Amino acid sequence: MQGRAIDPTSLSRTFTTLLRKADLRRIRFHDLCHSTATLLLERDVELVVIKELSGRAHLRLRLQCQAINTLSTALDGPAGHDPRRRRR
């Protein structure tokens, strides 16, 4: 259903299942927020923009979009990198 709060227990359970299926180590869902902030900080996105994205400040939409594009580029990885390929 749309417009309703997500049950935190259900979200965590679903996230854990997705990690297991992807053969990734188990982390907390909240760790994604920290990872996002770290990636953006490493790419010189202003702290106030990162705070906005995490719901801790209010900025213009343009700055938010720039930060999301920066994060998307960071997550794409180096050219030729296939994120589905497992490291051994």
Q: How many helices (H) and strands (E) does the chain have?
A: 4, 0
Integer CA distances (angstroms), 87 to 23, 29, 73, 74, in order:
11, 22, 21, 19
Query: Is 47 within the bounds of a domain?
Result: yes
Query: Is 36 within the bounds of a domain?
Result: yes
Query: Is 45 within the bounds of a domain?
Result: yes
pTM of the model: 0.56
Query: Is 83 within the bounds of a domain?
Result: no
Question: pLDDT tens for residues 1-47?
Answer: 577 888 989 999 999 999 999 999 999 988 998 899 999 999 999 88
- Residue range of the domain that includes 52: 30-76
Give the integer Cα–Cα distance in Å for 43 and 38. Answer: 9
Query: Is 24 within the bounds of a domain?
Result: no
The number of folded domains in the chain is 1
